[in-house]
Amino acid sequence: MTFSLDQLRRCTVAVDLGAARTRVHVKHSGLVVDEPSVVAVNTFSGALIAVGAGAERMAGRTPAHIRVVHPVTGGMVVDIEMAQRMLRALVGEKVRRAWRRRPMLRAAVCVPQNADPLARRAAVETLAGVGARRVELVDAPTAAGVGCGLPVEQPEATMILVCGATTTQVAVLSLGAIVSAATVPMGGDTIHHTLVQHLRNHHELLLPSHAVRPLHIALSDAAAASSVPTEVHGRDVVTGLARTVSVDPQDVRNAVQAPVTALIDAIRSVLHNCPPDLVADLAERGMVLSGGTALLPGLDARLRESTGMSVHIAEDPAGCAVRGLAAMMEGNARPLTVHGCR
Ligand SMILES: Nc1ncnc2c1ncn2[C@@H]1O[C@H](COP(=O)(O)OP(=O)(O)OP(=O)(O)O)[C@@H](O)[C@H]1O
Ligand SMILES: [Mg+2]
């Protein structure tokens, strides 16, 4: 179903349910939630123990009676009940009371560009469970494009990458809609797992999750040029004792080569499926990176090098999608057509 921007203007809440973070923007109040999409529950009683940052801190450190759940994966709600409980707890009683006073609460939520009917339905059900009477769905690349301030409604090509936690969506937009798009299973969490596996297989080291981010520095161009090894601390796979290893920056770059190559292939296939006039626009304007993984050191340089296009990282890339939804909801975006369902 296609509808106009007017439908979005009637919404009062904009939600980006991401695999890593949940963001909620309430009309005239601004961003009220920007927290990890994590819930900790008591496995015996089913009671909620913590949500958001509190629950994330518990991951990997729980006793048997506590389970840490991620209700969203790859931009899709996989556990509707948990996602509803998480949203309710994150927005807080004050906002929930305000929503209850609105008999016709409308919510706008972004979904992946390739979301199937089940994924779309799951997003609608989740929002309906927290009181929304009507839910408008907007594809994430369009929302992120608007959030980056790109002229997506113009008859000109705009290439946007939504680099999330588990997937990256590559889309070419023109006249407010997607002309060509692809999704690759590459994101911040993919890079994280790739590096953990690499250290395990090549250095026999089990890396704690907080030790992965410092390794990202080795992906930057400056680190590659200096070739100064990065020291990481972990647990020896065989002895179980604490151990420190020095990792060569080139080694780290080689480890993440496969997911980055998959992304470059996706960009090429999107360009291949694009009408020539739009490709000519893109040669001039390049692409914009949004989503948290856009901040991965050296990613922009690698894309620039392999596509020959200019690459720009959006300001506050992780918040682009919810900002775009909010701009459309608050009437700050120019007219465009979006797709949605009830
Ligand atoms: N400075 C950074 N460097 C590298 N990766 C980062 C950085 N900041 C955030 N990330 C990664 O970005 C991801 C979160 O981005 P974002 O909030 O856009 O994801 P999401 O919207 O929750 O996920 P998805 O869109 O896939 O459902 C995480 O995997 C995180 O590791
Ligand atoms: Mg996202």
φ/ψ of 183, rounded to 5, equals: -125, 135
118 and 222 fall within a common domain:
no
Which pLDDT does position 5 carry in this prediction? 79
When pLDDT is cut at 50, 70 and 90, the band that residue 4 belongs to is low
243 and 128 fall within a common domain:
no
Residues that place a CB less than 5 A from ion ligand 2: 18, 164
Which pLDDT does position 143 carry in this prediction? 95
49 within domain boundaries:
no
Domain count, the chain: 2
* Helix residue ranges per DSSP H, the chain: 5-9, 53-58, 80-100, 117-129, 140-147, 188-203, 213-216, 221-226, 249-255, 257-272, 276-285, 299-307, 320-329
Atom of ligand 1 nearest to the CA of 37: 22
Q: Is 322 a residue whose pLDDT tops 80?
A: yes
| C-alpha 328 to ligand 2 mean position (Å) | 17
59 within domain boundaries:
no
Name residues contacting ligand 1 (CB within 6 A): 18-21, 75, 164-167, 187-189, 216, 291-293, 295-296, 318
Our mutation pick for probing the ligand 1 site, out of 293, 320, 322, counting the most ligand atoms within 8 A of Cβ, is 293
Sequence-separated (6 or more) residues with CB below 8 Å from residue 292: 20, 21, 163, 164, 165, 188, 317, 318
Rounded average pLDDT over 267-278: 95
| C-alpha 297 to ligand 1 mean position (Å) | 13
Which ligand is nearest to the Cα of residue 294, counting in written order?
1
CA nearest ligand 1 atom 25, residue: 164
125 within domain boundaries:
yes
213 and 259 fall within a common domain:
yes
Which DSSP helix (H) or strand (E) runs through 287?
Answer: strand 287-290
Chain segment 221-252, per-residue pLDDT in tens = 777 777 788 888 899 999 999 999 998 888 88
| C-alpha 290 to ligand 1 mean position (Å) | 10
Cα separation, 15 vs 260, whole angstroms: 29
80 within domain boundaries:
yes
156 and 172 fall within a common domain:
yes
| CA 189 to chain CA mean position, Å | 10
16 and 107 fall within a common domain:
yes
288 and 328 fall within a common domain:
no
167 and 141 fall within a common domain:
no
Q: Is 39 a residue whose pLDDT tops 70?
A: yes
Q: Is 269 a residue whose pLDDT tops 70?
A: yes
Which pLDDT does position 339 carry in this prediction? 42
Q: Is 1 a residue whose pLDDT tops 60?
A: no
Which pLDDT does position 287 carry in this prediction? 96
Q: Look at 52-56, 92-96, 315-319 and tell me which has the smallest mean pLDDT.
A: 92-96
When pLDDT is cut at 50, 70 and 90, the band that residue 80 belongs to is very high
**DSSP-assigned states of every residue in 40-80:** EEETTT--EEEETHHHHHHTT---TTEEEE--EETTEES-H
| C-alpha 107 to ligand 1 mean position (Å) | 23
Chain segment 175-186, per-residue pLDDT in tens = 989 999 999 999
3-state secondary structure 165-213: CCCEEEEEEECCEEEEEEEECCCHHHHHHHHHHHHHHHHCEECCHHHCH
187 and 132 fall within a common domain:
no
154 and 87 fall within a common domain:
no
Q: Is 61 a residue whose pLDDT tops 60?
A: yes
138 and 191 fall within a common domain:
no
When pLDDT is cut at 50, 70 and 90, the band that residue 2 belongs to is very low
Tokens of 161: 């990458």
189 within domain boundaries:
yes
Q: Is 99 a residue whose pLDDT tops 60?
A: yes
Which ligand is nearest to the Cα of residue 319, counting in written order?
1
Q: CATH no. for residue 96? A: 3.30.420.40
Q: Is 304 a residue whose pLDDT tops 50?
A: yes
Domain ranges, residue 111: 2-37+71-145+321-339
57 within domain boundaries:
no
Which pLDDT does position 140 carry in this prediction? 95
123 and 20 fall within a common domain:
yes
247 and 225 fall within a common domain:
yes
When pLDDT is cut at 50, 70 and 90, the band that residue 342 belongs to is very low
50 within domain boundaries:
no
| C-alpha 165 to ligand 1 mean position (Å) | 5
- Using a 10 angstrom Cβ sphere, with 0-12 exposed, 13-18 middle and 19 or more buried, the burial of residue 245 is middle
225 within domain boundaries:
yes
